[in-house]
Every structure is written in C-alpha cells, then in structure tokens.
Amino acid sequence: MAAGARFARAVRRAGPWLWLLPAMTVLVPFFLLPVAVLLRNSVYRDDPGALIVPDFVATNYLRIITDPYYADVFVNTLMVAFGVSFAALMIGYPFAYYLVRWAGRSRPFLLWAVYTPLIVSVIVRVFGWMVITADSGLINTALLSMGVIERPVRLLYEVAGMVIGLTHRYLPLMVLPLVNSMAKIDRALLAASVGLGAGAARTQLYVVLPLSIPGAVAGFQLVFAGVLSDFVLPNLMGTTRFRMLAPTIYDEAVANLSWATSAAMAIVMLLLVVAMLVCTNLALRRFAPWARTL
C-alpha cells in the first residue's frame, strides 16, 4: 500500500518529463550521440593505416581553415547560402505580400503552390529542373528560338543551375514565415497610418515592412541553414569546380576515409549555423526590440 502510494507520487512528479520520453528516445541515440562522436573524431588524427587514431589535436581545424582548398569550400558555401537566402527573400516577400493582402479566391491555390515543393520529393523536382535548365532544355530552346542567344547558356551542372534549384527548394521556408508575420498585421494599423496622413508608400515602408521583419528573419534562418547543409542540389545540379560543403564532407569521409577532417568540417558547419542563428537573433533584439513581445 505504502509502496504503491510512493510509486504514484513518483509518477506524478515525473509526469511532465514523461512527455519528452518519445522524442528523447529518438534524439539522444540518433542525434546527440552522433554529434558527440563527431566532436570526438574532430580532435582525433587521420591515419593512412589505422583510419583514425585517438588523440587531442587542433590540426584538423587548422587545416580546413588555412588550406585554400577547404577554405574555398566554406567561402563558396557561405556565398551561395547568402545569395540563395537573399534571392528567396526578394522572390518570397512580394509573393507573400500579394498572398496576404490581395489574393482572394486564388489564395488556396497560391498556398498550395508554396506547399507543393515540400510535398514532392526533392529528387523528382531536380529532374524537373534538369529538363528545364539543360543545354537542350526548355529555357535554352526558348531563348535560341527567339534569337536572344546564339549558343545554349550553360545552366545545369553550373553554379547558376544549382542556385536555381536551391532557391526553388527553400522558397517555401521563406514564404511561410513571411505570410505568417504579414497576416498578423492588423488591418486597423494600415487604416491608422493612412488616417494620420501617410500615403501608400509610406505605410508600406514604415508599417508593413518593419512588422514583417520577424518573418523575414525566420525565413532567412531556415533557408540559410538549409542551403548550408544541402547535399542533393550541389551534387545533382552543381559542378565539382565550385565545391560545396556537404558533398565535400561526404567525399572526405567516404572517398578519402579522412574521418577526422570530415568531422572537423561538420562541426564547423554546425558552428556556422549556430553563429548565424545567434547573430540574427541578436540583431533582431537590437533593431526590433518590440518583436519579442508582439
């Protein structure tokens, strides 16, 4: 009886934590543990004979930062991540604004168009983009027949093609937070702005734009992190002359069997994402202190 009561009390106290159990059973062994192993490997030494040797050295990190080959990979990837995030913002912002402000009956259709890329497998979509961007693809055929160009412009297996693919892949992650933050803007605020003497442009610039910044930041974070670690698009649509991070890590680990080097690169990639999140959140707190309490 007493034991039963004590057990019941223990369950009651542990109750709230039990809700975390399903997630923890997956996250701890399959995510936290591998990251810990990566962290450990990144300070080990690669060895031609023994694959990887226990040690505690910084040489892996030093090499990937100082060696131009690896440094280029990081620079390339960061450039593409910034570029794609920016492109997604430029495309996504007006789209989201139209969706929220003007789209009436076409709204479900437009939302569906946003969601589709999330539903369809990325491989299927890449093949679609290949058909469009290939030398004999839709874009080139059209431009050739219109006489705009004389020879096909190389898009596929070039940076351009990869960026097109990446932008399409991550656009929904930009649009959805933007739509969310714009939809939250009270119509009365727009009326208030106009009623106080502001024209449409001023209202847009001083009311709508600042209030959609939290959505833009959230979208930027999602797209940036996604592009930084994307493996499929650089592999299928990019070029080996412009190396990206995720495929390089894969090659190091699987082709070169440099587990320590690839581990260090993976950790740096993780740190880059964390640094980006911290920086953008600090910037948001500094320049939009109202956003947290909204």
Would you count residue 294 as binding another protein (CB under 8 A)? yes
Q: Residue 292 Cβ, how far from another protein at the closest point, in Å?
A: 9
Q: Residue 193 Cβ, how far from another protein at the closest point, in Å?
A: 7
User: In this structure, what token pair is assigned to residue 198?
Assistant: 């502001």
User: In this structure, what token pair is assigned to residue 215?
Assistant: 């959505």
Nearer to another protein, 159 or 211 (CB): 211
Element (H, E) at 45: strand 45-47
Q: Residue 85 Cβ, how far from another protein at the closest point, in Å?
A: 23
CA 290 remoteness from chain centre: 25
Q: Residue 276 Cβ, how far from another protein at the closest point, in Å?
A: 23
Contacts with another protein, 171-200, as mask; x by CB under 8 A: ---------------x-xx-xxxxxxxxx-
Contact 135, 152 (CB under 8 A): yes
Question: How far, in Å, CA of 81 to CA of 246, rounded?
Answer: 12
How many of the other CB atoms lie within 10 Å of CB of 199? 10
Question: How far, in Å, CA of 52 to CA of 43, rounded?
Answer: 10
Q: Residue 191 Cβ, how far from another protein at the closest point, in Å?
A: 6
Would you count residue 273 as binding another protein (CB under 8 A)? no
Contact 137, 156 (CB under 8 A): yes
Q: Residue 220 Cβ, how far from another protein at the closest point, in Å?
A: 18
Nearer to another protein, 116 or 281 (CB): 281
Nearer to another protein, 42 or 193 (CB): 193
Would you count residue 143 as binding another protein (CB under 8 A)? no
Would you count residue 290 as binding another protein (CB under 8 A)? yes
Q: What is the DSSP string of 84-104?
A: HHHHHHHHHHHHHHHHHHT-S
Nearer to another protein, 175 or 207 (CB): 207
Nearer to another protein, 76 or 203 (CB): 203
Nearer to another protein, 16 or 197 (CB): 197
Nearer to another protein, 30 or 290 (CB): 290
Question: How far, in Å, CA of 36 to CA of 193, rounded?
Answer: 53
Contacting range for another protein; rule: CB under 8 A; set: 106-114, 139-147, 169-177, 282-290: 282-290
Contact 122, 169 (CB under 8 A): yes
Q: Residue 217 Cβ, how far from another protein at the closest point, in Å?
A: 13
Nearer to another protein, 140 or 193 (CB): 193
Residue of 130, 143, 270, 291 that binds another protein (CB under 8 A)? 291
Question: How far, in Å, CA of 162 to CA of 86, rounded?
Answer: 15
Would you count residue 2 as binding another protein (CB under 8 A)? no
Contacts with another protein, 207-236, as mask; x by CB under 8 A: x--xx-------------------------
Q: What is each CA distance from 186 to 128, 203, 210, 280, in whole angstroms?
A: 39, 13, 13, 25
Contact 252, 268 (CB under 8 A): no
Count of alpha carbons within 13 Å of 83, Cβ hemisphere only? 13
Cα dihedral angle (243, 244, 250, 254), rounded to 10 degrees? 0
The residue ranges that bind another protein (CB under 8 A) are 186, 188-189, 191-199, 202, 206-207, 210-211, 288-291, 293-294
